Amino acid sequence: MTKKIVLLPGDGIGAEVIDSAKQVLDAIAEEYNHTFSYETHAIGGSAIDEHGTPLPDETTAACKSADAVLLGAVGGPKWDQNPSHLRPEKGLLGIRKALDLFANLRPIQGFDNLLHASPLKEEVVKGSDLLIVRELTGGLYFGTPSERRNNGHSVVDTLAYERAEIERIVDKAFQAASIRRKHLTSVDKANVLESSKLWREVVEEKKENYPDITVEHMLVDAAAMRLITNPSYFDVIVTENMFGDILSDEASVLTGSLGMLPSASLREDSFGLYEPVHGSAPDIAGQGIANPLAMILSAALLLRHSFNLDNEARIVESAVQNVLEQGYHTGDLNIIDGQKVGTEKMTERVVDYI
Ligand code: ATP
Ligand code: MG
């Protein structure tokens, strides 16, 4: 298979860990006879420094002509005082919008060797392996601009969805569930919200197309509680933008470190943008100690969702599992035993396994 990947290293540790992901993709390409070509472009603070804008036109154009995009992270104290159009985060929001990425996938897994790194009890975290599918371009965060207001006495935010917007995210979730354990939980607040009633209706309609998937509806408050009392109950969760934002941060405590969490942002076709959940971590940037696993696991998602290479994605995921089992870990993981290593060594161990 021949594919073009755009690399957007961005700022801070983003630029360090993206190189790890590239090494892993190269190892997969060599082992399984694929040809991946790369183009690197600027985004975020480094793009402001080089091009005077957080999202240069050439970056957007390159992403549009690629098969998939890998992004490191953007931001840092250097640009904190910049005016709003010169903020690194504008680059990230801008590229998501320009590429119409409406589906945000966040897999969350309690790795056996990291169970005690979580603040939750080991027996609760053990065996948890879930995927949150969050709607990313609609709902309360966007609303209806003409209705949004704040006059100092009264404020209005609107939660608006078109049926088609719900259909496409629900389809993504069913597709994701069909290559997992085939259990889909649709999370809403249908006892009080109109938007949730339509959401439920769409899920009920769509499930006819996926007869092998078990579907249930759960209210968001109940889901929030079950996520930390019995996380292994869940396989795939699908939900609207704000519920997804809150639940995915809540679920991130299962893994014990931000440095372990990958994400995918997708649209209807196979194209996607893949990035770690963590930010540019300016406090540890340039020291060679960043955990590359979130970025490497993001590359696994790229193989799975954009290139349909589920086997290769699993190989990368097993490699990560394996190096953790061997006791290798970076400093962000709260582990006493085993061997503490830096970004480069960790990457080397993963590549060796592949
Ligand atoms: P953003 O605003 O971009 O979300 P943030 O400040 O919320 O950024 P991060 O930049 O992700 O969050 O950093 C939060 C903390 O987690 C920092 O102390 C950072 O060093 C640590 N951290 C984040 N990612 C990693 C990683 N891959 N390896 C090691 N430590 C990390
Ligand atoms: Mg943050």
Q: What are the binding residues for Mg(2+)? A: 221, 245, 249
Residues 196-220: what's their mean pLDDT?
Answer: 98
Contacts of 130 (CB under 8 A, 6+ apart): 107, 108, 109, 231, 234, 235, 236, 237, 251
| Active-site residue, 49 included | no
Q: Whose CA is nearest to atom 31 of ligand 1?
A: 259
**pLDDT value of position 336:** 77
CB contact at 8 A, 162 and 176: no
Range with the lowest mean pLDDT among 69-83, 141-155, 182-196, 217-231? 141-155
Q: Indicate the average pLDDT of the chain.
A: 95
Residues 149-157: what's their mean pLDDT?
Answer: 91
Residues 124-148: what's their mean pLDDT?
Answer: 90
How far does residue 198's CA lie from ligand 2's centre (Å)? 31
Ligand nearest to the CA of 75: 1
Range with the lowest mean pLDDT among 134-143, 188-197, 320-329? 134-143
CA distance 102 to 172: 10
pLDDT at 335 over 90: no
**pLDDT value of position 281:** 97
Where helices occur in the chain by DSSP H, the ranges are 13-32, 45-51, 57-64, 88-98, 122-125, 163-178, 194-206, 220-229, 241-251, 293-305, 310-325, 343-353
Q: How do 2-10 and 35-40 pair as beta strands?
A: parallel
How many of the other CB atoms lie within 10 Å of CB of 49? 12
pLDDT at 322 over 90: yes
**pLDDT value of position 334:** 80
CB contact at 8 A, 133 and 236: yes
| Active-site residue, 189 included | yes
272 pairs with which residues across the strands?
A: 266
Percentage of the chain exceeding pLDDT 90:
88
CA distance 184 to 166: 15
Q: Whose CA is nearest to atom 1 of ligand 1?
A: 279
Residues 257-282: what's their mean pLDDT?
Answer: 95
3-state secondary structure 240-291: CHHHHHHHHHHHHHHCCCHHHCEEEEECCCCCEEEEECCCCCCCCCCCCCCC
Ligand nearest to the CA of 89: 1
Ligand 1 pocket, 346 CB below 6 A? no
**pLDDT value of position 68:** 98
Quote ipTM for the complex: 0.94
**pLDDT value of position 347:** 98
**pLDDT value of position 84:** 86
**pLDDT value of position 146:** 83
**pLDDT value of position 118:** 87
Ligand 1 atom nearest to CA at 282: 10
pLDDT at 113 over 90: no
**pLDDT value of position 144:** 80
**pLDDT value of position 103:** 97
Q: pTM of the entire structure?
A: 0.92
**pLDDT value of position 208:** 98
pLDDT at 259 over 80: yes
